[in-house]
Amino acid sequence: MNVIILGAGQVGSSVAEHLASEENDITMIDVDASRLAEVANRIEMRTLVGNAASPRLLEQAGARDCDLLVAVTQSDQTNLCASLIAKRLFNVPRSIVRVRAADYTAFQELLGEEAFAVDFAICPEQIVCEYIVRLVNHPGVLQLLDFANGAVQLAAVRAERGGKLVGHPIKALRYHLPNVEMRVAAIYRHGVPIIPEGDTVIHPGDELFFLASAGQIPALLRELRPAERRGSRVMIAGGGNIGMRLAKMLERDYRVKLIEYNKQRAQQLAVELTDTLVLAGDATDEHLLDREGIEEVDHFLAVTNDDENNIMGAALAKRLGAKKTLAIINRSAYVDLVQGETIDIAISPALVTIGALLKHVRRGDVAAVHRLRRGAAEAIEIVVHGNAQTSKVVGRRIDQIRWPPGVTVAAIVREETVADEEAASPARKQKRVVMAHHDTVIEEGDHVILFCTQRRRVREIEKLFAVGFGFF
């Protein structure tokens, strides 16, 4: 696939890295030659220096033969203009555009075919904020991801001493929670993936990924780690786009304090945030944190634009008594160094955002993609099409299908027709979650949720679910 990426920032370089590893031909455009060179040193691709919205430069980049345009520069105007030019002049079939300003996303007609001709619009800041809010609402979870429009959730949890199931095999879960339908998709022990079996014993420190119907995650958490209360006090370090959005989303349900270094920005935030206490100061100032009662804070969220400040602020908050700390870290190499040691959760915004992009890049009908383990693994929700003659999976039991190594079928979401008890009422559709077993049969229309510990196997998964003219 020929892909043009506009913007060599964190999002653009992350998209390029992931797409290049999957054998796509990539051309990247940016005004900053040094930034392009830095990305090109890591990734095999073609680069062009200049204005990403220039028709001449887009043509030079190969827009006439382009399959996908990914416009993720820092400028909304540049991204939207480039999408329009790519569609109108070069008939690019698909465009994904980064739009940060709420002014654009509030008026969807601006993004439609008659205006800027955007196929898919993403706002990384909003995606990251929604991700963080889910973690705040579920203390003890390292990742919490939705599938099938929220009908199924995938949670990553680190097992700790004191958890009821720690030291026992996975199959003991059915006796502890007989009414909870769940599936352990993968276990990572000392960073190494383990295919879970019923007799696999859970050790302290194991990182478990399990799927369950929405609402059942808290019961599973209690089996793997000591009980934790949700808490009510949140402190946010950084009043940029993410910090402001987070405060707005959390201030309805939590007592929120926000620390912003820039006094003028702090004054603006104090006017805009009605139920948040805004403080002008340095989030790495021990005396400020102590004065504002850091030992009573349930969640300290470091979301400034500076990785070092986020690491230092979160580490200091943890040392001073904050119960849970979370830091945004743009350099992915830092994430593994600090998570679980000085900081409870480290988040790479690029990895959180990449799933929203990948579901529009994957071949086949992919409903959701989530990167796990800092991008080493992937969870995919793929819709099944075809029949027994045209598909390699339809009408077959899971144990009859030749799955690529490292792939686990975790669950199936199936839409069923349910007759209403009242005869006058029409039948209605409802989703049913089926936890996958060896004898589960895959049907047309199923949403199959897969866990892949080896990202290079993704292409094999896509081919497996592809619909052919005939399969014998």
Which residue range is the domain that position 331 belongs to?
A: 233-352
Q: Say if residue 304 is in the same domain as residue 366.
A: no
Q: Are 305 and 243 in contact (CB under 8 A)?
A: no
Q: Say if residue 373 is in the same domain as residue 341.
A: no
Residue 120, pLDDT score: 87
Q: Say if residue 364 is in the same domain as residue 337.
A: no
Alpha carbon 51 to its chain centroid, in Å, reads: 30
Q: Say if residue 368 is in the same domain as residue 449.
A: yes
* Residue 383 within a domain: yes
Tokens 């690029």 -> residue: 350
Residue 107, pLDDT score: 62
Q: Say if residue 343 is in the same domain as residue 383.
A: no
Q: Are 37 and 14 in contact (CB under 8 A)?
A: no
Last residue of a domain, one of 327, 352, 377: 352
- Can you tell me whether residue 1 is helix, strand or coil? coil
CATH of the domain at 390: 3.30.70.1450
Q: How far is CA 249 from CA 89, 253, 270, 324, in A?
A: 40, 8, 15, 18
Q: Say if residue 254 is in the same domain as residue 310.
A: yes
* Residue 206 within a domain: no
User: How far is 102 from 426, CA to CA, in rounded Å?
Assistant: 40
Q: Say if residue 269 is in the same domain as residue 250.
A: yes
Q: 270: part of which helix (H) or strand (E)?
A: helix 263-272
Residue 453, pLDDT score: 81
- Can you tell me whether residue 323 is helix, strand or coil? coil
User: How far is 216 from 179, CA to CA, in rounded Å?
Assistant: 10
Q: How far is CA 283 from CA 164, 254, 319, in A?
A: 37, 19, 14
- Non-local (6+) Cβ contacts of 309 within 8 A are 237, 283, 284, 302
Q: Say if residue 348 is in the same domain as residue 359.
A: no
Residue 472, pLDDT score: 36
Nearest to 211 by CA among 143, 260, 261, 306: 143
DSSP string, 198-245: TTPBPPTT-EEEEEEETT-HHHHHHHHS------SEEEEE--SHHHHH
Each residue's pLDDT tens digit, 437-446: 889 999 999 9
Q: Say if residue 378 is in the same domain as residue 274.
A: no
* Residue 132 within a domain: no
Residue 395, pLDDT score: 92
* Residue 470 within a domain: no
Residue 455, pLDDT score: 74
User: How far is 84 from 117, CA to CA, in rounded Å?
Assistant: 6
- Non-local (6+) Cβ contacts of 104 within 8 A are 76, 80, 110, 111, 121
Last residue of a domain, one of 122, 156, 186: 122
Residue 20, pLDDT score: 80
* Residue 456 within a domain: yes
* Residue 441 within a domain: yes
Q: 176: part of which helix (H) or strand (E)?
A: helix 173-176
User: How far is 306 from 237, CA to CA, in rounded Å?
Assistant: 11
Last residue of a domain, one of 102, 122, 142: 122
Q: Say if residue 419 is in the same domain as residue 314.
A: no
pTM of the model: 0.82
* Residue 225 within a domain: no
One digit per residue, the tens of pLDDT, for the chain of length 472 reads 899 999 998 888 888 887 887 678 999 999 999 999 999 998 889 999 999 999 999 999 999 999 999 999 999 999 999 999 999 999 999 899 988 877 766 666 667 677 777 888 888 888 999 999 999 988 888 888 888 888 888 888 888 888 888 888 988 888 888 877 888 888 888 888 888 888 999 999 898 888 888 778 888 888 887 766 767 899 999 999 999 999 999 999 999 999 999 999 999 999 999 899 999 999 999 999 999 999 999 999 999 999 999 999 999 999 999 999 999 998 776 776 777 667 889 888 888 887 777 777 766 678 888 877 766 678 888 999 988 889 999 999 999 999 998 888 888 988 877 665 555 556 667 778 888 888 999 999 999 998 888 777 888 888 898 886 443 3
Q: Say if residue 103 is in the same domain as residue 60.
A: yes
Beta bridge partner(s), residue 328: 347
User: How far is 430 from 428, CA to CA, in rounded Å?
Assistant: 7
Number of domains in the chain: 3
Calculate the dihedral angle through the C-alpha atoms of 42, 45, 47, 52, rounding to the nearest 10 degrees.
Answer: -110
Q: Say if residue 21 is in the same domain as residue 101.
A: yes
* Residue 187 within a domain: no
CATH of the domain at 319: 3.40.50.720
Residue 399, pLDDT score: 92
- Can you tell me whether residue 344 is helix, strand or coil? coil
Beta bridge partner(s), residue 169: 201
